[in-house]
Amino acid sequence: MPKMISAKFILEHKTNGSNDFKLDVEFDVSSKGIIAIFGSSGCGKTSLLRAIAGLEKNATGRFSLNKKVWQDNGTNLPTYKRSIGYVFQEASLFEHLTAYGNLNYATKRVKNLSRLDDHETYFQQIIDLMQIEDLLPKYPAQLSGGERQRVAIARALLIRPDLLLMDEPLAALDTARKHEIIPFLLRIRNEFDVPIIYVSHSVDEIIKLADHIIMLKDGKITDQGDVATTLSKHQYIGEEQNQTGAVLNATISKHDKMWHLISAEFDGRLLWLSDNQEKIGQKVRVKIMAKDVSLSVGQNHQETSILNHFRAKICAITTDTHPSMKLVKLKIGDSVLFARISAKSTNILNLELGMSVWAHIKSASILS
Amino acid sequence: MIFSDADLNAIWLTLKLATMVTFLLLLIGTPIAWWLSQTRSWLKAPLSAIFALPLILPPTVIGFYLLIAFAPEGPVGHLTSFFGLDSLVFSFWGLVFASCIYSMPFVVQPLQNAFETMGNRPLEVAASLRATPIDQFLSVVLPLCRSGFFTATILGFAHTVGEFGVVLMIGGNIEGETRVVSVQIYDHVEALEYSQAHYLSAAMLLFAFIILLSLYIFQNKKTSFGVRL
């Protein structure tokens, strides 16, 4: 019997009578790796995470982790009885305790934890993993945002939770700090046997970290499944505006030593990319931004600098953020790609739904 | 010795009263302030108003109503006689009761402010780290709101010491029982004992200044949390 997370929640927020928000979700996922809950702000992803933690008093429904019931008819464990570790969006360290005091706060309260044989080793392992040895005597006020978040993550891990909940742990950090934390999160996924539910509105983070994705919109699940498969069906929205794109699942298949290229195979097609020491057979996620894809109807792409050309079928044309631009959704085999081209070009080329065109991919990047 | 025995008696009684009242108010006021800081009930506004009433009512009004309540036919009077206790009028315990009501807002409001400033997040964090509600209060609320508790203690104590009107209305003027410093000063002035009145008044002035000074020093200090601790 595989280990499962099984959840169903209904939660209504009444915000001053207007815009009533309702969260109504049900999902079952395998309880391993990183499960991302993805959606724009206000979609209810934080409410869902809080409901799982037992922090939303009005949430009704059920929740069980590996057959252990936390919430169901008649059962509703308070937060302090749920075996969770919770990392909040902003630094949530206790201001009156040092970093060490914060870590200790957690371990003192879990029964028998300090009596486990490997407690000392485990404690040290986490300190080493998060690289917080030097921070231990400091108060939260003396730590940077990234350092505080590392201590908070260590604190959540130290109580050996059955489930780790993370609410946009990187959202309050600048880009440099984000890159500082992501490797730690990956190591947690790889080195600890704890499922993580990770809330985020950043596709970049999710592609780098998550295994499974649950997409939320207006309090409802719109899609879920394996990250690349699910994301490849949807428009990719990057960190900044006009960063629409798509994600492909691919496998590294060939090296071209002479030109320092590698080929990533998807749907039986080869995409040539710069060689960054990826291994043959390695599974990768490739991000292709809509602005890096151009279209043509003719055959003569021999005289262009672009390496990658694919036969594609137009399945949607929408106006992009600016009226001068169109976003064209393409299908290459089973994969979805987006091209951002000018409205004028759409007209000149007579682009229509169902039409067969050539997609030229100027650049693509490997995400994991 | 510049203070007479009667003066010392009054000082001792005042300190005893203020300590007792502060202690009781911290016990009663904490849950009230907590409830007010957490509730979304419609009762919050009317109850806040009731607890804040002593801030603006003349002490004589409070004293008058308490006097009626303490009388043998009054609600509190019924209770005390039912339990076979002495009437609270003109007694030390009557003063304690009255002072608790009179000084309530000075304890409840700083605590409520501190709880509201702290917000719910530290409690949620504590709960996620397996702390039970009582544990959360002791290990998170108390230390994080300690400046609020400090302010509440100081203000509750100081305000009880400075009380005059209510004492006179329901406590009368019985030495060793209800004659506190403020009443003693009044007596000295009435009897034209100006030097005695001077000594006691100066002592009160000094006391009030030191109390407020310590309050402001403490409040400046706590802004640099963690660094100076």
Cβ pair B129:A159 closer than 8 A: yes
Q: How far is B71 from chain A (nearest CA, A)?
A: 46
Measured distance CA(B116)–CA(B109) in Å, rounded:
10
pLDDT at B196 over 60: yes
- Whole-number pLDDT of residue B100: 94
Measured distance CA(B102)–CA(B94) in Å, rounded:
12
CATH, range A244-366:
2.40.50.100
- Whole-number pLDDT of residue A267: 84
| One-letter identity of residue A261 | L
End-to-end CA distance of chain B: 41
Task: Give A308-367 pLDDT, tens digit per residue.
Answer: 889 999 988 888 778 888 888 888 888 888 888 999 998 888 888 888 999 998 877 777
pLDDT at B138 over 50: yes
CB B13 within 8 A of CB B95: no
Topology given in CATH for the domain delimited by A4-235: Rossmann fold (3.40.50)
Q: How far is B121 from chain A (nearest CA, A)?
A: 8
In a domain, B29, yes or no: yes
- The most confident of A47-56, A181-190, A244-253, B162-171, by mean pLDDT: A47-56
Residues of B in contact with A105 (CB under 8 A): 126, 129, 131, 139
Domain borders along chain A are 4-235, 244-366
Residues of B in contact with A80 (CB under 8 A): 126-133
In chain A, the percentage of residues whose pLDDT exceeds 70 is: 92
Mean pLDDT for A249-263 is 88
Q: How does DSSP assign B64-99, residue by residue?
A: HHHHHHHSTTSHHHHHHHHTTPPPSTTSHHHHHHHH
| One-letter identity of residue B136 | Q
Cβ pair A142:B125 closer than 8 A: no
- Whole-number pLDDT of residue B226: 35
Work out whether strand A163-167 and strand A84-87 pair parallel, antiparallel, or are unpaired.
parallel
Mean pLDDT for B194-198 is 93
In chain A, the percentage of residues whose pLDDT exceeds 90 is: 21
Which residue from A137, A130, A133 is spatially nearest to A169, judged by alpha carbons? A130
Cα A266–Cα A269–Cα A273 angle in degrees, nearest 5: 75
Residues of B in contact with A96 (CB under 8 A): 143-144, 225-226, 229
Cβ pair B226:A140 closer than 8 A: yes
- Whole-number pLDDT of residue B225: 41
User: What ipTM does this complex have?
Assistant: 0.76
Q: How far is B27 from chain A (nearest CA, A)?
A: 23
- Whole-number pLDDT of residue B222: 57
pLDDT at B227 over 50: no
Cβ pair A96:B225 closer than 8 A: yes
Confidence of residue B21 (pLDDT cuts 50, 70, 90): very high
- Whole-number pLDDT of residue A59: 87
Which residue from A217, A246, A251, A216 is spatially nearest to A233, judged by alpha carbons? A246
Confidence of residue B228 (pLDDT cuts 50, 70, 90): very low
Task: Give A202-230 pLDDT, tens digit per residue.
Answer: 887 888 888 899 999 888 898 888 887 78
At B118, which CATH number?
1.10.3720.10
Q: How far is A64 from chain B (nearest CA, A)?
A: 17
Is A84 touching B (CB cutoff 8 A)?
yes
CB B105 within 8 A of CB B54: yes
pLDDT at A166 over 90: yes
Measured distance CA(A251)–CA(A245) in Å, rounded:
19
Number of domains chain B contains = 1
- Whole-number pLDDT of residue A195: 93
Q: Which domain holds residue B175?
A: 5-39+56-221
Residues of B in contact with A110 (CB under 8 A): 130
Which residue from A224, A250, A246 is spatially nearest to A237, judged by alpha carbons? A246
Which residue from A26, A35, A51, A25 is spatially nearest to A3, judged by alpha carbons? A35
CB A98 within 8 A of CB A141: no
Across chain A, mean pLDDT equals 85
In a domain, B51, yes or no: no
pLDDT at A293 over 60: yes
Reduced to 3 states (helix: H, G, I; strand: E, B; else coil), residue A354 is coil
- Whole-number pLDDT of residue B127: 93
Residues of B in contact with A109 (CB under 8 A): 129-131, 135
Cβ atoms within 10 Å, residue A361: 22
In a domain, B128, yes or no: yes
- The most confident of A222-231, A236-245, A332-341, B204-213, by mean pLDDT: B204-213
- Whole-number pLDDT of residue A84: 92
In chain B, the percentage of residues whose pLDDT exceeds 70 is: 96
Confidence of residue A15 (pLDDT cuts 50, 70, 90): low
Mean pLDDT for B58-62 is 91
pLDDT at B30 over 90: yes
Mean pLDDT for B207-217 is 88
CB A352 within 8 A of CB A303: no
pLDDT at A125 over 60: yes
pLDDT at A147 over 80: yes
Measured distance CA(B137)–CA(B34) in Å, rounded:
10
Residues of B in contact with A159 (CB under 8 A): 129-130
Q: What does the block give as tokens for B207? A: 């006391």
- Whole-number pLDDT of residue A217: 87
Measured distance CA(A368)–CA(A287) in Å, rounded:
10
In a domain, B47, yes or no: no
Confidence of residue A17 (pLDDT cuts 50, 70, 90): low
